Structure formats: C-alpha cells, structure tokens
C-alpha cells in the first residue's frame, strides 16, 4: 500500500490536533440526530431528567383562549393532541418533583400550553375536569381526566416526549368544552 493510500484513511492534521486538545466536535449530522432523539425522548443514554421541577406558569384557561386544533406530528415539536411529560412540584410541600402527563392544546412561542392529566376518581363528578379515558398516559391503564379550568404553560425544553397521542375523537371532546366554556376558537 502506498503512503498516499495509507494517509487517506487517517484523520487530517487539524482533526488530530483538535482531538489532542479536546476540541473535537461532533459531526453536524450526528449532533442533529442526537438532539432530535433527545427531543423525542428516544435516547436511552440520556441521564434521568433532573429531580427539580420545571419552570411553568399557570393561568385561567379563559385568559389563554386561542384557536384549538388537532395536529399531532412527531416532527420534533410538541403539537396539540400529543401527550408530554414534565416534572411538576408534588402536592403538600414534598421536596422532589414528580413527572406528570399533560395534554398539549396549543403553543406560545417556545412554550407549550397544556392541560393536566390525572387518574384520580375524585375528578369524575367535578365540572372542571373531563374524562379522556385510558391510554399511554397512564401506565396502569386507568381512566383519566384533564383539568379544563387552568392551562399550564411550560417551556418546550422542559418536557419529555414519548410518542403518546390522544385519539382525535377524545381531543375533539376536550376542544369542544374549551370552545363552549372558556372562549377558545
């Protein structure tokens, strides 16, 4: 084998120098694919999410009114109709945050607008909650409810996606209640 052929398989001098000084950068394509995997929650090598609660803002749903539509798309951004998980404070002053499912109902710049999901049977006869049935959002397969009277705004960077989508008919029932009772379009 000639010297030229042997050198063709070796990294260039700049790459070797960068590696020696710890400046080696991940190739752009690899970096992009890794970031997409992280955003979709597909990267098993990631460390567990922080035990601290995400920064979020809670507002009355009527104050957040906008057009609501069903548009789940596994494109890297959370869209209305998708279920996402976020670490929220636990009730009664517990120190650690708890990962909770949320139903995405809209977007506000780099944040999502979502409704809290709960499996508590106590919500069954509460007018502020609507049943959405069982699904991938509850690992025990229990019937769940979404809270309609408050909307949670969470930075998209604080959510974890797992590919769960609420069926369109169930989403349409939630959207109908938001339109009738909270002024959404």
Task: Identify whether 69 is part of a domain.
Answer: yes
pLDDT in tens, 16-56: 655 555 555 667 777 777 777 766 656 544 444 445 566 78
| Helix or strand holding residue 172 (H, E) | helix 168-182
Q: Encoding tokens for residue 58?
A: 């809670």
Average pLDDT over residues 9-17: 59
Would you say residue 174 lies in a domain? yes
Matching residue, tokens 């998209």: 156
The pLDDT assigned to 83 comes to 95
Q: What is the pLDDT of residues 135-168, one digit of tens each?
A: 999 999 999 999 999 999 999 988 888 879 999 9
Which range marks the domain in which residue 33 is found? 3-40
pLDDT at 71 over 80: yes
**DSSP string for 24-50:** PPPPHHHHHHHHHHHHHT--TTSPPPP
Indicate if 162 and 80 belong to the same structural domain.
yes
Q: What is the DSSP string of 54-70?
A: PP-EEEEGGGG------
The CATH number assigned to the domain holding 120 equals 2.30.30.110
pLDDT at 95: 59
Inside any domain, residue 47: no
154 and 66 within one domain: yes
Residue 45 belongs to a domain: no
Q: How many structural domains comprise the chain? A: 2
Q: How confident is the model at residue 87 (pLDDT cuts 50, 70, 90)?
A: confident
């Amino acid at each position: 084998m000639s010297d030229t052929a042997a050198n063709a398989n070796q990294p260039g001098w700049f790459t070797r120098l960068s590696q020696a000084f710890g400046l080696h950068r991940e190739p752009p394509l690899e970096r992009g694919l890794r970031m997409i995997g992280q955003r979709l929650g597909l990267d098993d090598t990631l460390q567990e999410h922080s035990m601290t609660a995400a920064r979020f803002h809670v507002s009355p749903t009527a104050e957040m009114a906008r057009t609501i539509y069903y548009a789940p798309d596994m494109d890297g951004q959370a869209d209305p109709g998708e279920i996402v998980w976020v670490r929220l404070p636990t009730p009664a002053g517990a120190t650690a945050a708890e990962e909770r499912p949320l139903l995405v109902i809209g977007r506000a710049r780099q944040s999502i607008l979502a409704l809290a999901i709960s499996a508590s049977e106590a919500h069954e006869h509460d007018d502020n909650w609507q049943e959405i049935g069982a699904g991938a959002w509850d690992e025990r397969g229990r019937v769940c409810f979404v809270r309609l009277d408050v909307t949670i705004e969470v930075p998209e960077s604080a959510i974890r996606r797992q590919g769960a989508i609420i069926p369109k008919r169930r989403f349409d029932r939630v959207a109908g209640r938001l339109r009738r009772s909270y002024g959404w379009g």
